[in-house]
Structure 1
Amino acid sequence: MELRSLGHDGPHLSVIGFGTWHIGSTPRWGVREDVQIIQTLRRATEQGINWIDTSPVHAFGHAETLAGKALAVIDTPVFIANRCGLHRDPGDGSYTVSLRPEVIRAQLEKSLQRLGRDHIDLYQLHFPDPEVPVEDAWGTLVRLREQGLVRHIGLCHFNLAQIKRCMDIHPVQSIQLPYSLMHRAIQEELLPWCRENRVGVLAASPLQDGELAVLAAPADESATITMPRSQSSSALPQAMELIDRLQPEAERRNISIAQLSLAWILHYSEITAAVVAARTPEQLLDLTAVAENPLTAEEMVSIGEVIAETIGV
């Protein structure tokens, strides 16, 4: 699988990373599903995926535990990207953000324990905390890096102004933000800036939290696909129209809409990698196939015209 550098001096990551947000996403999730995820993670490394993106809020830490179990039986080195600052109440499932230094350190220690590691390869601030200045939160990660507990530091869901404030203190290795056929807000300003400043970009939710894959799947297959985190979307009519318009393009290449979506994202050299989720080895193989079959310039133009006509520029 193709490898791309994460930032100006970072490690080389596979263009597809294995995300864990979907773990524990169904009411009947149990041991059988856990075993399946571990098998899928092992298959991911066999297919050339060399990194995992996880978070302590995924299944209240259970995703990290499963990743740790998988890493224990995988022979090849696996790069771990993790996040801090977001917290989920086990009672009502609500989210809060805290980037206080003591909270970040405590969260890191628990993540290391669950993963069975002595360091995190890429540690990212998950969301800005309105109560903690960006500089203070970023400074905490800089100190953790100096102490050897994390190797690289990055950001998720921060805007360009906030990223620049962090850069004034210490280089930002990468930024992770939503990027998909439906969500292209980073294209106009942030992607060019990242290219110029050699900051890695990780595309989160490349399938619109699974929505594009689910909506495009036949009725007898959609039930086996991991459903999106948000089951309702105000953009649903647009998504359906976009899928209908792109279906002929996908059929010409004999690929799925999900594969087409990933191939479109990976066409942009500013994107280091896209984070995908798969519950089974079969789903994973379907997605990783795009890494070996890039879109042509003509196909990108055609897809761009469809996007402009359905979603807007």
Structure 2
Amino acid sequence: MTAESAERRDRTAATSALGELVHDQVELSPLALGTWSGGRYMNFGEPISEERLERLLRPDNRLATVITADVYGRGAADRALGRALRGLERGSYRLVGAVGHDFYAGERLGFKGYPRFTDPRLRGPEQYEDYLRRATERMLERLGSDQLDVLLLHNPDRVGYTSERVWEALRKLRDEGLCRSLGVAPGPANGFTLDLIGCFERFGEVVDWAMIILNPLEPWPGRLCLEAAEAHGVRLIARVVDHGGLFWGDVRPGHPFPERDHRRFRPPGWVEAGLARIDRMRPVAERHGLSWIQLAVAWVLAQRPIVCAVPTLIQEPGPQARPIEDKRAELAATPLLSPLSAAEVEELALIGDNRNCMQLKGASPDHEGAPRADSWPLAERDLEVAARWGIDPVRDLRKAA
């Protein structure tokens, strides 16, 4: 333990007995910014300059929550966010950080990225706590902060969802004051439904937050976990709210996605199909005076227990592309309370229905072969979770033939 972490531990020792009360008081703003925006550390659109990114990420009273992950740029995204936060009063914004990919000792596995810290080739369970503490302390140093409002377990493998050692270590970090509350951020692709619900059931005492993929063109499978999250008191952050940029309005048929853009992994025709469905949503948007991205955010925030929406801000290539700063301003102008009725939420979900459109990650009936870091076969405990929440894995979690 470093001298700084020991001092922090001593400083919070007197109030550690109140930890269960303190960590539940964290509130995130409805609208958030993520360091995966801007194209510098994640390949969405064109990379903007460092100075533009820092201005983009600087929170204000409308966009008061900022989210980062230590693996983005091997800490570079944290440092950029730290510069963006300079001079701001700490209580004026909420800071969310995610750790879990070991880029310190692990080697990058091509497009799969860095291994999870729970990879047995890197360490055993007895070393989980040490890794999580060091990773969190280093993130805080890069951010120039003493404490995260929320610490997320980033893209866990099966061990991360189920290990007592992992979640006990995270609880200790919270009680020592490195963060105020804890959560889990599945990914990077879509799925993990039963794993996420199982994590709520096992570790609900410490899991206050979860991040899911959700937008009007991708109601599945994210909506399958809403009931379980609410029942366990877990509040949700929604990402990919923009559906790969379609809801920003400057991705059109024939769009020139840059060579390394992650959206190239999407199936052919996804732009045309998505825009056709968005056009059918237009009457609802016009009824409430909302732009496309504002409609997507409103749809997300209308559903409990989702409390925070974080679209990706993308600078698209070409002279016709909108400046990314305009997109930030449009997001900031979104109503903080969704004007959509329950009937409108379901109307949009029906238009965007994407059930069984892809093979999901995590525990899946479609998985074949040995377990991988992001995909594994269904176990008996997964089937038990599914039965408790009315989920039929064959009907609800399989890719259509």
TM-score class normalised by the smaller sequence: 0.7 to 0.9
Cross-structure match for 1:304? 349
> Is the Cα–Cα contact under 8 Å of residues 35 and 77 in structure 2 kept in the other structure?
yes
TM norm structure 2: 0.64
> Larger deviation: 82-91 or 112-121?
82-91
Distance 1:110 1:192, change over 3 A: same
Distance 1:286 1:271, change over 3 A: same
Query: Are 2:325 and 1:281 equivalent residues in the alignment?
Result: yes
Q: Where does 1:53-72 land on structure 2 (aligned, <5 Å)? A: 53-72=67-86
TM-superposition CA deviations, 1:272-313 (whole Å, max 9, x none): 1112233643211111222257333253343234234x7689
Which whole-Å CA distance do the structure 2 matches of 1:74 and 1:40 have between them?
15
Q: Where does 1:176-255 land on structure 2 (aligned, <5 Å)? A: 176-184=211-219, 185-188=221-224, 190-208=225-243, 210-213=244-247, 216-217=249-250, 229-234=262-267, 236=270, 238-251=273-286, 253-255=288-290
* Aligned-residue offset at 1:82: 0.7
Gaps of 5+ in 1: 1-6
Distance 1:57 1:218, change over 3 A: closer
Cross-structure match for 1:73? 87
TM-superposition CA deviations, 1:173-193 (whole Å, max 9, x none): 1111111223321323x2112
Which whole-Å CA distance do the structure 1 matches of 2:233 and 2:165 have between them?
23
TM norm structure 1: 0.81
Cross-structure match for 2:197? 160
* Aligned-residue offset at 1:110: 1.6
TM-superposition CA deviations, 1:34-56 (whole Å, max 9, x none): 111222233x414x222111101
Which whole-Å CA distance do the structure 1 matches of 2:141 and 2:215 have between them?
33
Q: Report SS of the residue matched to 1:123.
A: strand
Q: Which amino acid aligns with 2:233?
A: R
Number of aligned residue pairs: 295
Which whole-Å CA distance do the structure 2 matches of 1:186 and 1:219 have between them?
26
Whose radius of gyration is greater, 1 or 2? Answer: 2
Let me know the Cα RMSD of the aligned residues: 3.2
> Is the Cα–Cα contact under 8 Å of residues 22 and 58 in structure 1 kept in the other structure?
no
Query: Are 2:175 and 1:146 equivalent residues in the alignment?
Result: yes
Distance 1:241 1:95, change over 3 A: farther
Cross-structure match for 1:272? 307
* Aligned-residue offset at 1:80: 0.9
Cross-structure match for 2:18? none
Which whole-Å CA distance do the structure 2 matches of 1:81 and 1:55 have between them?
8
Cross-structure match for 1:40? 56
Cross-structure match for 1:4? none
TM-superposition CA deviations, 1:233-273 (whole Å, max 9, x none): 13715424322322454355554322211111111131111
Report the identity percentage.
Answer: 22
Distance 1:104 1:264, change over 3 A: same
Which whole-Å CA distance do the structure 2 matches of 1:28 and 1:212 have between them?
16
Cross-structure match for 2:362? none
Cross-structure match for 2:165? 136
Gaps of 5+ in 2: 1-21, 119-127, 187-194, 315-323, 357-395, 397-401
Distance 1:15 1:91, change over 3 A: same
Distance 1:292 1:17, change over 3 A: closer
Which whole-Å CA distance do the structure 2 matches of 1:36 and 1:49 have between them?
16
> Larger deviation: 111-120 or 296-305?
296-305
Cross-structure match for 1:95? 114
> Larger deviation: 249-258 or 52-61?
249-258
Distance 1:108 1:283, change over 3 A: same
> Is the Cα–Cα contact under 8 Å of residues 65 and 93 in structure 2 kept in the other structure?
yes
> Is the Cα–Cα contact under 8 Å of residues 154 and 173 in structure 1 kept in the other structure?
yes
Cross-structure match for 1:3? none
Q: Where does 1:112-123 land on structure 2 (aligned, <5 Å)? A: 112-123=140-151
Higher relative contact order (CA 8 A, sep 6+): 1
> Is the Cα–Cα contact under 8 Å of residues 26 and 180 in structure 2 kept in the other structure?
no
TM-superposition CA deviations, 1:19-46 (whole Å, max 9, x none): 111341469746xx2111222233x414
Distance 1:135 1:109, change over 3 A: same
Which whole-Å CA distance do the structure 2 matches of 1:147 and 1:127 have between them?
23
Which whole-Å CA distance do the structure 1 matches of 2:292 and 2:157 have between them?
36
Which whole-Å CA distance do the structure 2 matches of 1:240 and 1:159 have between them?
30
Cross-structure match for 2:318? none
Q: Which amino acid aligns with 2:178?
A: L
> Is the Cα–Cα contact under 8 Å of residues 242 and 312 in structure 2 kept in the other structure?
no
